[in-house]
Structure 1
Amino acid sequence: MSDSIKHECGVAFIRLLKPLSYYQKKYGTALYGINKLYLLMEKQHNRGQDGAGVATIKLDIEPGKRYISRHRSMAPSAVADIFEYIQKKFADIQKESPEKMQDAEWLKENVSFTGEVLLGHLRYGTHGKNSIESCHPFLRQNNWQTRNLVIAGNFNMTNVDELLQQLYDLGQHPKEKADTVTVLEKIGHFLDTENQGLFDQYKREGMDDNKEISKMIANDLDVAKILKKSAKSWDGGYTIAGILGHGDAFVMRDPVGIRPAYYYYNDEIVVAASERPAIQTAFNVAFEDIREIKPGHALVVKKNGRITEDQFSEPKEKKSCSFERIYFSRGSDAAIYRERKQLGRLLCPQILEAVDHDVKNTVFSFIPNTAEVAYYGMAEGVHKYIKQYQRDALLNREDKISDEELTEVLAIAPRLEKLAIKDVKLRTFITNDADRGEMVAHVYDTTYGVIKNGTDTLVALDDSIVRGTTLKQSILKILDRLGPKKIVIVSSAPQIRYPDCYGIDMSRMGEFVAFEAAVSLLRENGMEAVLADVYQKCKDSLLLPKEQVQNYVKAIYEPFTDQEISDRIAQIITPKGTNAEVKVIYQTLENLHTACPDHLGDWYFSGDYPTPGGNKIVNRAFVNWMEGKNQRAYM
């Protein structure tokens, strides 16, 4: 994505099903779990540049000894920073008493982070404060083991106000207004209620030994029941992992399946993560052996090692995030790789029409590295067209083809080049706007000597276009210097028209170049009344329950065709003084669904939000824009 946006957090969970001594004997180290957690997190580092955190819990530790360990970091390389901190503990032991590194039981008794239950988190903050307090995992502490709670997740709730009010009604006094607090305290409340209910039950049954009651509570806690009560009013997208102090653990996924969650287990370990390739790589397991947690279900691992996938909420029509497939998740997932190639292939008819099928005088390229896989698919599509052209030229002729013509037909091949190269060494540190604008224009470098001046058309594939700022300030200026007669910017995603409210940093209407284009067309055509009408409807809808709200912002786009909006976008992003004609092509919604048939969550493009809270958020975002409020439309 040429426009940088912040996005999806990542989770990593491991439960060791054997004693640490087992891993010491089989793998040569009692640190098997912590080493694997590092790999699991490092292979998802694309999901967290704002911070990271790790928590572990030791099973069956005697009272008075620390059994929960946690460390969080906001360092530039947060994952490395965390594990350097952890590894230093063991490096000191190795230096002073190397024999103790072979004693798994001693390590568990005396060194932090040697637990059997491990939870890691990679944070990508969408809005607001970036502080160590914002980094997961979050911890809710209590002297009763079974009331301790650690959670970390990839989530955003659209109805934080409603959830906070529920906490107030319970008599709680949350310390801040944030969805992380509401989730932690909501689960914590029902964890307390379940504990107290079991305690009272055992007392009624005549049990007097409180220590024995504590053990029975740990054994009998119904995790799925706690999650069902906790999530009853949640409206949002989430994958949330949690550990209870005594060792029960869970990974839960929202009823629509918006956020991704995968897991694998055998007789040694249970592992869950936000991305499948991380599990494949860290544990060397096959693609088909990794399962996806079903929407509305939680993977529950009891302290005794029993593994279940329990329903905590009624699953709804699955609307998994399509942006995960287009951009967010790493393309090393086999399914995502195929889908991204297909996105590129499906664009070929539009691209070929835009270049008048003149592949001889067209150079095909891509902009950011994340568009590379779709670029391969586009290249395959162009190859296929050329082969068909050559076949028709050779077979569908009445006269005999000359040697010269034959040579010319057979010589046709797509011109595939890497032209725009991001210069990662360049830092736009200058604060003066005029000077900084000049620096930004050089963030990308280019390959010279490839384009035939005034003759060639240059096709550049991007995976998505959000604001169009980098295209206007940098990329198009650089590409125009190469001297093409025409530049075609192609997005493998459809037009981004609506804000996300499930965890991606796309929440302000004014940030979308497609919205800017539609508003520009409305004003040009004397249709400002549409803006006023939509504003009033959106304003009124904010007073209604979310279940009664519809997306009124769709009316902004309805008077115009997709092509009209694309053409206006081309005008908006074309820098002054550009010599080449600039055209913009977007993926169609139909083709997106064809390429990603199992991930139909397309609300950023279609405005069809999968939860009621989404409609309320988009309307509030439009109200904020109309009122000149540059703020987030949700908490």
Structure 2
Amino acid sequence: MYGLNKLYLLMEKQHNRGQDGAGMASVKLDTSSSTPYMMRSRSNSTQPIADIFGKIGAEIKELEAHQPDIQQHPEFIKAHLPALGELMLGHLRYGTQGKNNVEFCHPFLKRSLEKSKNLTLAGNFNLVNTEELFNSVDLSMGEFQRQSDLAAMMEVIYHYLAMESDNTNGNPSLQKVLENAAAKFDGGFTVGGLVGNGSGFVLRDGNGIRPAYYYTDDEVIVAASERASIRTTFNIGEDRVKPLPAGHALIVDPQGDFKVARVLPEMEKRACSFERIYFSRGGDEKIYRERIALGYHLSQTVLEAINYDLRNTIFSYIPNTAEVAYYGLVKGMEDYLNKIKVERILSWEKDFTREKLEEMVNRKIRQEKIAIKDVKMRTFITADSGRNEMVQHVYDITYGTVRPGTDTLVVIDDSIVRGTTLKESIIRMLSRLKPKKIIIVSSAPQIRYPDCYGIDMSRMGDFIAFRAALELYNDRGMQQSVRDIYQECKALEQFDQLHTKNVVKQFYKPFTAHEISAKIAQLITAEDIDIPVEVIFQTIEDLHNSCPTNTGDWYFTGNYPTPGGNRVVNKAFINFMEGIETRAY
């Protein structure tokens, strides 16, 4: 039961990575010919992990009803409990492609009469060349395959696995299989696979876009997308958990021996910075410090925005994922306030009283829990008029915290993508407190370009920064410049050259980041709200200073690590101009 318990813990400790479903698979070693050796279970229920492991628990109870001491007979329980195996694979689905039906949940599975040709696969990734992948193995895409990049990855890996298995009499070299298959993938990926013969692997893309960590000892070999989940599950120190290098695979054979082997050529490391800003849990000590730094680097800009008036400014955060960056922002405010305290006290020389000194020393940064998410609220109304009314109340507000007309309210968010929640819920909610001014601070820079490597943001029109720049073009009568960019994209598309450069970079060049931020502030403020709103974004420079190991910044800069990214952004712009609402890959 050890392996099942650990898999359950690992999945729960990464539950932030999956809101749409979950799945697990296992492979048994050394089974008799009559015992099934490979199983898979998936769920898209509202509590998918509990659903999967609850069913396993029910099977255990049923066995115990017939034989109470069954766990003292490991071979018997192994033979009668399908989930129990020496190799286990778990996955949390956060749907970025396809529907949320259970068949889209990982792991995927391909069966064969030969053990070495049975394959189950799960991953954290997006691929941007699925059509080319199907063509490379002479398969035509069905409706399901067209919606699933894992289906494309599965077919390619399986193609080379079956070929290698035939050439080696059922003893395939996974390193050769992955070298052949991974060379065809364009995207960001960490993918894990189990083979029916008892071998397994975890593979990371050549740019290291998606995260992967592993730990080994005499008992276990384990890999996961987050270091902290391994540390917690196995109660080990940070130095025991190693990052899987970009372009490498962790490969395990049926005897339990393992190696870390390069399967892709060396490329520029472009680990996703959104992992540090938002996507991963903040329990990892490095991520925690980086999120603190993200907030701290914003403190000087915020001080300027409030005219250094800390007496009449309240600081808070929304949503909870911004909490750690909030601590960093407050730390910056405290450092400034402490500096002022020292300077003021020194300027008094000996001219002060105990009361005057106490007042100065006890001066604090004003912090309040302004908003609390109402977890009971579900925006089940789909009609826009009703839905907007409900969205306003997803957060409960804390009344009495703000002095109306006197206090400026500074609220930090981890990132601003669409701006819809800000406009329909947060700004409207904060305005009910009647502050003198509302300042929204983003710990991430302006999101200007689609992401296609795992955190799916693929439509240009969704981005508030894009819409703000478009408004500036309209304000200044520069619509022809937008049409020129469109025509250049279409010309590249005609000659199948969309991948050669990011044409959309030109779209933002006429405007400063400050001009776009000011327009965003206008767009997220409803017409019936008369309180001034300002928006402050992280700079690219301070992003890299805060997160030095994760330099992947294409959603902010447009500097994509693979040619597929250029193709996606140009196609997304074409789709926007032509009124096509589908994703760009």
Q: TM-score range by the shorter chain?
A: over 0.9
Matched, 1:235 2:235: no
Count, aligned residues: 583
Distance (Å, rounded) in 2 between the aligned partners of 1:452 and 1:406: 26
Contact 1:546 1:612 in 2 (8 A): no
2:20 aligned partner: 50
Matched, 1:165 2:135: yes
Matched ranges for 1:42-441 at <5 A? 42-168=12-138, 176-177=145-146, 178-199=148-169, 217-218=170-171, 221-396=172-347, 400-401=351-352, 406-441=357-392
Percentage of matched positions with identical amino acids? 51
Contact 1:530 1:555 in 2 (8 A): no
Query: Residue 107 of structure 1: CA displacement?
Result: 1.4
Distance 1:622 1:533, change over 3 A: same
Distance (Å, rounded) in 1 between the aligned partners of 2:301 and 2:553: 21
Q: What SS does the corresponding residue of 2:311 show, helix, strand or coil?
A: helix
Query: Residue 434 of structure 1: CA displacement?
Result: 2.3
Query: Residue 172 of structure 1: CA displacement?
Result: 6.9
Contact 2:498 2:571 in 1 (8 A): no
Distance (Å, rounded) in 1 between the aligned partners of 2:217 and 2:531: 59
Query: Residue 554 of structure 1: CA displacement?
Result: 0.9
Distance (Å, rounded) in 1 between the aligned partners of 2:46 and 2:245: 34
Distance (Å, rounded) in 2 between the aligned partners of 1:618 and 1:454: 44
1:509 aligned partner: 460
Contact 1:90 1:101 in 2 (8 A): no
Contact 2:125 2:189 in 1 (8 A): yes
Contact 1:167 1:173 in 2 (8 A): no
Q: What SS does the corresponding residue of 2:145 show, helix, strand or coil?
A: coil
Distance (Å, rounded) in 2 between the aligned partners of 1:433 and 1:230: 45
Q: Compare 66-75 and 570-579 and name the one that shifted more.
A: 570-579
Distance (Å, rounded) in 2 between the aligned partners of 1:404 and 1:111: 73
What does the per-residue CA deviation read over 1:104-147, in whole Å, with 9 as the maximum and x for residues that have no partner? Answer: 01112232112100011111111332212111111111111111
What does the per-residue CA deviation read over 1:317-336, in whole Å, with 9 as the maximum and x for residues that have no partner? Answer: 11111001101100111111
Distance 1:534 1:309, change over 3 A: same
Distance (Å, rounded) in 1 between the aligned partners of 2:500 and 2:44: 39
**One-letter amino acid of the counterpart of residue 98, structure 2:** G
What does the per-residue CA deviation read over 1:34-78, in whole Å, with 9 as the maximum and x for residues that have no partner? Answer: 111111101111111111111100011122321111111111000
TM-score, structure 1 as length reference: 0.89
Q: Compare 448-457 and 401-410 and name the one that shifted more.
A: 401-410
Distance (Å, rounded) in 2 between the aligned partners of 1:503 and 1:192: 28
Which residue, 544, 548, 559 being the options, matches 2:510?
559
Contact 1:546 1:613 in 2 (8 A): no
Q: What SS does the corresponding residue of 2:485 show, helix, strand or coil?
A: helix
Matched, 1:456 2:407: yes
Distance 1:64 1:398, change over 3 A: closer
Contact 1:60 1:246 in 2 (8 A): no
Contact 2:134 2:155 in 1 (8 A): no
| Larger relative contact order (CA 8 Å, sep ≥ 6) | 1
**One-letter amino acid of the counterpart of residue 506, structure 2:** A
1:35 aligned partner: 5
1:497 aligned partner: 448
Distance (Å, rounded) in 2 between the aligned partners of 1:300 and 1:432: 50
Q: Compare 320-329 and 541-550 and name the one that shifted more.
A: 541-550
Distance 1:173 1:510, change over 3 A: closer
Contact 2:134 2:140 in 1 (8 A): no
Query: Residue 369 of structure 1: CA displacement?
Result: 0.4
Query: Residue 288 of structure 1: CA displacement?
Result: 1.2
Contact 1:93 1:101 in 2 (8 A): no
Contact 1:153 1:239 in 2 (8 A): yes
Contact 2:499 2:566 in 1 (8 A): no
Contact 1:359 1:414 in 2 (8 A): yes
Distance (Å, rounded) in 2 between the aligned partners of 1:257 and 1:576: 44
1:481 aligned partner: 432
1:633 aligned partner: 584
**One-letter amino acid of the counterpart of residue 94, structure 2:** Y
Contact 2:499 2:565 in 1 (8 A): no
Query: Residue 180 of structure 1: CA displacement?
Result: 1.4
Distance (Å, rounded) in 1 between the aligned partners of 2:104 and 2:381: 29
Distance (Å, rounded) in 1 between the aligned partners of 2:435 and 2:86: 60
Distance 1:161 1:469, change over 3 A: same
Q: What SS does the corresponding residue of 1:139 show, helix, strand or coil?
A: strand
**One-letter amino acid of the counterpart of residue 72, structure 1:** R
Query: Residue 432 of structure 1: CA displacement?
Result: 4.0
RMSD: 1.6
Distance (Å, rounded) in 2 between the aligned partners of 1:489 and 1:224: 49
TM-score, structure 2 as length reference: 0.97
Distance (Å, rounded) in 2 between the aligned partners of 1:544 and 1:317: 28
Query: Residue 388 of structure 1: CA displacement?
Result: 0.5
Query: Residue 195 of structure 1: CA displacement?
Result: 1.4
Q: Compare 557-566 and 533-542 and name the one that shifted more.
A: 533-542
Flag structure 2 segments of 5+ consecutive residues without an equivalent.
none
Q: What SS does the corresponding residue of 2:120 show, helix, strand or coil?
A: strand
Distance (Å, rounded) in 2 between the aligned partners of 1:507 and 1:63: 48
Q: Compare 311-320 and 101-110 and name the one that shifted more.
A: 101-110
Contact 2:408 2:439 in 1 (8 A): yes
Query: Residue 408 of structure 1: CA displacement?
Result: 4.5
